[in-house]
Structure 1
Amino acid sequence: MRLLLVEDDESLIDLLKNSLPKQNYVIDAVTDGEQGWAYGSTYTYDLIVLDLLLPKVDGISLCQRFRASGYHMPILLLTSCHASVDKIRGLDAGADDYITKPFDLEELAARMRALLRRVNSNSLPVLSWGSLQLDPRSCKVTYDTQLLSLTPKEYGLLELFLRHSHHVFSTDEIIDNLWSSKEFPAEATVRSHLRKLRRKLRIAGAPEDLIETVHGLGYRLKWQPDNADSKATTVIQEEITANKHSKHLKAIAAAWEKYREKSRNQLAILEQVPRVFSEGSLSFYHQEQGRLAAHSLAGNLGIFGFSEGSRLARELEGILQGDTDLGAEQIFHFQVLLTALRDELT
């Protein structure tokens, strides 16, 4: 599945680029609305994940532009805004669903699967072709109950063939579906992945030509007389295995190490607010910079598991986003919250 992520928060991009490929998503990530339009209108994606607040072109406007241009693939909106009016605006603009920051990675993945299921009825059920079965939820592949250990590209190839079991895929089509726009694999690379996948299937007992070559055209699953109308069958299994949960935790831990220094810088920005207030020089610039820092912390800390830190940052953001000048009582409350937030992160 190919995904376009339009998000200006680099730490969140790192986290999702670490986590989602483990669920066999191929990700293109861009950081502003103009790039989002350029990529979304040029390449084909199964799903777009779009932040509400973006530089250059905001998420609402970008969503409207996609829909006005006939783009029908699902759009999932990421928002730090808890007000229902913002969510309504996003849905009215053409978004299919939204999730509020901070969010749980497993909830995000579940919402993505739900959106893909609406477009493709085969997105969640187990995909089968004779004795071959692939479960997109657990990412497990079996042949005649024997578990196959596949690389991400081998898994992607097999899923592509199973979802479009009567389609002949050229090498270029395979590259477009399984590699990001920034990767340029040679045709020999595709053939190498196919050769290794065929070998693993053969070792598991599958026919040698289960994935057949249609000379001059490409590759497809070979028609099977006893399973000509092979369809996906629904198998109820656990949504999240211990192994998948462990991968999520490792991805979060790796991303937090990258984000930790940025969180310190954001705290430093917030610490300037009471200092410049005491000097009598608190300006709109300082207040707005502090608000943006608190807003980013509120969204990201929850994702990294700091639910209390996220709540404190949200309160700090609320103090700074008022239209009136801050008074001594508000600054005192601000300092109390800031001290608690600093303690939470140390």
Structure 2
Amino acid sequence: MAKILIVEDDRDLAQVLSVTLSSKGHSVQIADGGAVAIDYLRSFKYDLVILDWMMPEVTGIDVLKAYREKDGKAPILMLTAKAEVADKALGLDMGADDYLTKPFHPQELLARVRALLRRPHSLAALLLTAGDITLDPATCQVTRKGEEIHLRPKVFSLLEFFMRHPDQVFSSEAILERVWMDDSLASPDTVRTHIKLLRKSIGQTGESGLIKNIRNRGYMLSSSSK
């Protein structure tokens, strides 16, 4: 199973891609625009990025350039309606690993995804650790003292976000912007509920432990907690 980011402003197509990839056991997140994608890529690690070229304001090429300039290593599959060789060459020269011209058949997409995920660097995500918790971004597996913990998808994303930003305080609004970017109905109450679920899942009782409340400021993962 791979963790895949779909960057596509056509919500219907993004949903089709998500269902297709999820049916093969992959963990999928969707960014509905270039700016959102850049924020996701700063906050999380992915095994593969499927990136639409033609998006308003922040284009796929803009996202690709920003990601590679920050030394992003995940393979990138560009989706494009551009059939000209020069356009495809531009994408490859900017750091894309492959491209797929729209319209395409789902089986062709899956074949390209399999090929890219076979490359050695595609599963090179490092394990994240905090206290007795270990998170593997590549397999979406979390363990505590060696025992696997099963988390809901958003609880997993919340934990991964905290583990990538230890000892930093985030308000509920800041967490919403980074973890619930694709959910306009989420609220600070949503964050509080998921914080409680996360604490319960990792065996934390109360507010003293790995995930701390910082009065009048927000939440923080404390790297010094045991």
Give TM-score scaled by structure 2 length. Answer: 0.67
Deviation per residue, 1:97-146 (Å, 9 max, x gap): 3244623275388389957x8xxxxx711111232111112111110011
8 Å Cα contact 2:18-2:28 kept in structure 1:
no
Identity of aligned residues (%): 27
Query: 1:6 pairs with 5, 8, 21, which one?
Result: 8
* Letter aligned with residue 166 of structure 1: D
Instruction: Give the whole-Å Cα distance in 1 for the aligned partners of 2:150 and 2:81.
Output: 39
Q: Determine which structure has the larger strand proportion and give its number.
A: 2
Provide closer, same or farther for how the CA distance between residues 162 and 145 of structure 1 changes in structure 2, counting only shifts above 3 A: same
SS of aligned partner of 2:125: coil
Are 1:177 and 2:178 matched, yes or no? Answer: yes
Which whole-Å CA distance do the structure 1 matches of 2:115 and 2:190 have between them? Answer: 32
Partner of 1:151: 152
1:110 equivalent among 109, 117, 121: 117
Match in the other structure for 1:28: 31
Mark the structure with the bigger radius of gyration. Answer: 1
Q: How does 1:153-232 map to 2 (within 5 A)?
A: 153-202=154-203, 209-224=209-224
1:62 aligns with 2:63: no
What are the ranges of 5 or more consecutive residues in structure 2 without an aligned counterpart?
69-75
Tell me by how many angstroms 1:5 deviates.
Answer: 2.0
Distance 1:7 1:169, change over 3 A: closer
Return closer, same or farther for 1:151/1:40 CA change in 2, 3 Å cut-off: same
Alignment map for 1:114-129 (pairs within 5 Å):
124-129=125-130
Judge conservation of contact 2:7–2:34 (CA < 8 Å) in 1. Answer: no
Distance 2:163 2:11 in 1: 35
CA distance in 2 between counterparts of 1:194 and 1:91 reads 41
Distance 2:11 2:180 in 1: 23
Tell me the TM-score normalized by structure 1.
Answer: 0.46
1:2 shift after superposition: 9.6
Contact 1:63 1:95 in 2 (8 A): no
Is the deviation greater in 142-151 or in 213-222? Answer: 213-222
Query: Unaligned stretches of 5+ in structure 1?
Result: 30-38, 118-122, 227-346
Alignment of 1:1-346 (within 5 A): 3=5, 5-6=7-8, 10=12, 12-18=13-19, 19=21, 23-29=26-32, 39-41=33-35, 44-46=39-41, 49-52=50-53, 54=54, 62-64=59-61, 66=62, 72-73=66-67, 76-79=77-80, 85-92=86-93, 94-100=94-100, 102-104=108-110, 106-107=113-114, 110=117, 124-202=125-203, 209-224=209-224
Structure 2 CA distance, aligned partners of 1:167 and 1:108?
Answer: 38
User: C-alpha deviations, 1:169-228, integer Å up to 9, x for none?
Assistant: 22112111111345231211110111011012117x9x95111111122212223278xx
Higher helix share: 1
